[in-house]
Structure 1
């Protein structure tokens, strides 16, 4: 190889050394762009109807509350019985954990937790506040409002509006139903959770109800629901809330 050939070869190697990183960067950039084009996007959560408007309810402090007060906020809606010894205490603990996660995510100012009292016959704001206190919530913190009203108003909002069924059942009736289920081989034991409020009041009945959790969007539309409110992870709920707040 003569000197000219050597010089040409050296120049080619130098050009390749300079060009190679640029080619790699271009390829990576194109791959990133292509990935963005084909990456699966989170589907928009559907609109499932409108949340029922309401008035004539009172929160755990006895203050009057109507649905217009929650306008513009995403609502996490549940349905609880203050004397419950099954799933309601577990749901209450979930709500306390969810509020902490919303605080860490800097979202709690955009979210309102709402619980409707499904024992309107025997309980009200006093029992609602005691229930919250028992499971770690300060009733004075109105980021969770536990709402009570008359049996008629509760039925109109909970059963007719949210389509959540509930009924008062005597312990004797529950025991008879459990015996029949055991005989048929399809008995599923329910969790028993300590509830000091119920232990003190000693009710002779239970309130059987759906363990529903509903997310209501900022414009008052039903956007997501689950029939297993006691088993939804707080992380999953926070992710759903983020999606809904982005979608508005």
Structure 2
């Protein structure tokens, strides 16, 4: 996995100021420095007092871009949806690449943990965790279904895919760039166990975004997922490469930004309180 800073185009303008506060952002690929700001909420005199109580990440108040809200998606059960169709619920978003060997297994672990916490608090009907792929060419519904089973399927944890061009445009609108790059070393498919012909990786930033029930972007954090203290599915733990094992053991190495499932749970609570549903 290559770590590289966020680069934003006009379509991602709504997130530019806040995403750029994180000088280095992790993505699937291999090993550049991600040291820089930790993504703490800025102490702005114009921000509401509640915004300064979020321990990590940055608070937002921006509309969900139309290119993101209207993208047709299909989840791991074959159900069709859009992000806009989830209006009325808190939506937690993070990129997914099921063939990632460096960070995505830990991202999924953290979101799965947060989804379980929402179910325990009887709020799973009000919060949905969505991982749209950055690799729709390979991440089919069948593959997403198998990936979800590794962690344990949950009704409030959705893995979604769709048309490649529309998915790319959706992520671009959210400030996440994706880049398909060839891989020189052999890669084994975790699903089939077979060697992958013409392997490639998809570089992307590691970002978590929360959309409020009003359809507005309310929180964002960037950095490596910190899944220490949890247990990844055995097959995903074994699928990690050397860099992935380092990221699992030392997510904040070199001063890199990182986030935990608990950080996401606290941000969800903030958004819920903001919506008057505390």
| TM-score > 0.5 by shorter chain | yes
What does the per-residue CA deviation read over 1:145-191, in whole Å, with 9 as the maximum and x for residues that have no partner?
Answer: 111111111112112x212111211113x99xxxxxxxxxxxxxxxx
TM-score, normalized by length of structure 1? 0.67
What does the per-residue CA deviation read over 1:191-217, in whole Å, with 9 as the maximum and x for residues that have no partner?
Answer: xxx972274462511111111110111
Matches within 5 A, 1:89-238: 89-134=105-150, 136-138=151-153, 141-159=154-172, 161-172=173-184, 196-197=190-191, 199-200=193-194, 202=196, 204-228=199-223, 230-231=225-226, 232-238=259-265
Aligned residues: 186
Q: Provide the secondary structure at the position in 2 that maps to 1:196.
A: coil
Q: Provide the secondary structure at the position in 2 that maps to 1:79.
A: coil
Structure 1 pair 63/109, CA: closer, same or farther in 2 (3 Å)? closer
59-68 or 80-89: which moved more? 59-68
Separation in 2, partners of 1:247, 1:226: 18
Stretches of 4+ aligned residues off by more than 6 angstroms: none
1:85 maps to what in 2? Answer: 101
Q: Displacement, 1:71?
A: 1.0
Matched-pair contact (CA < 8 Å) for 1:48–1:224: no
Matched-pair contact (CA < 8 Å) for 2:130–2:158: yes
Structure 1 pair 195/245, CA: closer, same or farther in 2 (3 Å)? farther
Structure 1 pair 199/225, CA: closer, same or farther in 2 (3 Å)? farther
Q: Which has the larger radius of gyration?
A: 1
Q: Displacement, 1:103?
A: 2.3
RMSD: 2.5
Q: Displacement, 1:229?
A: 5.2
Matched-pair contact (CA < 8 Å) for 1:79–1:118: yes
Gaps of 5+ in 1: 1-39, 176-193
Structure 1 pair 221/200, CA: closer, same or farther in 2 (3 Å)? farther
